């Protein structure tokens, strides 16, 4: 597998893009190399198809737009759902009708138009202080309850993980109730939204708040980090809404680039990424839940317990995305 920087990539394009196209696939990836490298190496070993990865923290949609028909990108990997939606909204992807992928990934986690596919799932959990609250049976709705006044920590409401959660609330409750909920949640915050998901768990450990909102896999990565282990050990992981609709799920995913020079290669790689073999490896490295129901989560993730998932189709998060952003502005959530 070859990881190319932006500069090198441009040079390759100009000199030898047509020669590369037949036996290599170019991936533009928001996902970090350590997560996907081992899987891509397996794919190359199995198929002989080389994979060139262009990793970017930001700006893949802009880059695809700029490159247009000359783009070398065959497929895009995203670390969250809103970036997948951005590609769709800007018409930067094309549909892929694959019976292999359709069999591997449940319909709830695929685009109704075959424009995108989820690869991994994560819960937006509610973490509670073991010392002050212990494990709790809680609904997202309860975060607005006066009993938690001054007790809750979260990152920016505008972060894609929180926008997706608000979008799911909109899908279930409609605008008026979701707005009231957001106002209640804002009133319960211990401090202005700031930092990332791990910082909220750290704040619980430090006694700033009793409850943190955060994705499930961060508990795994904090446990593995000697500098963060104590934060993770200070919290209980709670799966919300277990006596009703289930916990909110967000996803990472993939889509075929609109001008993919190597459609067949991209399809082969996308089918491999959905396979039980690749899903097993993916689940191990990032403590996420496999989207392929035949694959079990890693041992650590399984130890957090079984839970009910919200069955809301992921497409509903996209449909409610702009309304969620608008509501977060209206209640001035981050101010
Ligand atoms: Fe994340």
Q: How far does the centroid of ligand 1 lie from the alpha carbon of residue 184, in Å?
A: 25
pLDDT for 5 beyond 50:
no
> What's the confidence (pLDDT) of residue 4?
52
- β-pairing, 117-129 with 289-290? antiparallel
Q: How far does the centroid of ligand 1 lie from the alpha carbon of residue 282, in Å?
A: 14
> What's the confidence (pLDDT) of residue 283?
85
Are 9 and 2 a contacting pair, CB within 8 Å? no
Distance of CA 118 to the CA centre of its chain: 9
Instruction: Annotate 292-309 with DSSP letters as a single string.
Output: STTSPPPHHHHHT---PB
Instruction: Annotate 43-104 with DSSP letters as a single string.
Output: HHHHH--EEEEEE-SS-HHHHHHHHGGG----EEEESSHHHHHHHHHTT-EE----HHHHHH
Q: How far does the centroid of ligand 1 lie from the alpha carbon of residue 47, in Å?
A: 30
> Within a 10 A sphere around the Cβ of 195, how many other Cβ atoms?
14
Are 178 and 169 a contacting pair, CB within 8 Å? yes
Q: How far does the centroid of ligand 1 lie from the alpha carbon of residue 14, in Å?
A: 35
Q: How far does the centroid of ligand 1 lie from the alpha carbon of residue 215, in Å?
A: 7
Mean pLDDT of 128-141: 98
Q: How far does the centroid of ligand 1 lie from the alpha carbon of residue 48, in Å?
A: 32
Q: How far does the centroid of ligand 1 lie from the alpha carbon of residue 217, in Å?
A: 8
| Whole-angstrom distance, CA of residue 161 vs CA of residue 191 | 19
Q: How far does the centroid of ligand 1 lie from the alpha carbon of residue 219, in Å?
A: 11
Q: How far does the centroid of ligand 1 lie from the alpha carbon of residue 151, in Å?
A: 23
Tell me the pLDDT tens digit for each residue of 28-79.
Answer: 999 998 889 999 999 999 999 999 999 999 999 999 999 999 999 999 999 9
Q: How far does the centroid of ligand 1 lie from the alpha carbon of residue 120, in Å?
A: 12
Mean pLDDT of 190-201: 98
């Amino acid at each position: 597998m070859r990881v190319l920087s932006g500069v090198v990539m441009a040079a390759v394009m100009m000199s030898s893009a047509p020669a590369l196209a037949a036996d290599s696939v170019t991936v533009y990836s928001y996902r970090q190399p350590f997560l996907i490298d081992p899987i891509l190496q397996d794919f190359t070993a199995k198929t002989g198809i080389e994979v060139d990865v262009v990793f970017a923290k930001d700006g893949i949609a802009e880059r695809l737009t700029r490159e247009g028909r000359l783009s070398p990108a065959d497929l895009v990997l995203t670390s969250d759902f809103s970036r997948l939606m951005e590609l769709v909204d800007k018409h930067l992807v094309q549909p892929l009708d694959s019976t292999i992928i359709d069999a591997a990934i449940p319909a709830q986690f695929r685009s109704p138009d075959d424009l995108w596919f989820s690869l991994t799932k994560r819960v937006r959990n509610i973490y509670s202080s073991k010392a002050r609250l212990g494990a709790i049976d809680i609904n997202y709705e309860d975060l607005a309850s006066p009993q938690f006044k001054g007790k809750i920590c979260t990152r920016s409401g505008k972060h894609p993980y929180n926008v997706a959660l608000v979008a799911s609330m909109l899908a279930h409750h409609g605008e008026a109730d979701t707005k009231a909920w957001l106002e209640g949640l804002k009133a319960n915050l211990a401090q202005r939204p700031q930092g990332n998901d791990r910082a909220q768990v750290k704040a619980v450990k430090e006694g700033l708040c009793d409850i943190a909102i955060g994705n499930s896999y961060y508990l795994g990565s904090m446990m593995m980090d000697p500098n963060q282990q104590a934060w993770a050990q200070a919290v209980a992981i709670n799966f919300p809404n277990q006596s009703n609709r289930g916990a909110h799920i967000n996803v990472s995913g993939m889509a075929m680039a609109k001008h993919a020079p190597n459609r067949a290669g991209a399809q082969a790689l996308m089918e491999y990424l959905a396979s039980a073999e690749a899903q097993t490896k993916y689940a191990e490295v990032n403590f996420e839940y496999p989207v392929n129901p035949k694959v079990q989560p890693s041992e650590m993730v399984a130890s957090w317990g079984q839970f009910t998932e919200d069955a809301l189709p992921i497409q509903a998060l996209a449909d409610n995305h702009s309304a969620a952003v608008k509501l977060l502005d209206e209640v001035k959530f981050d101010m």
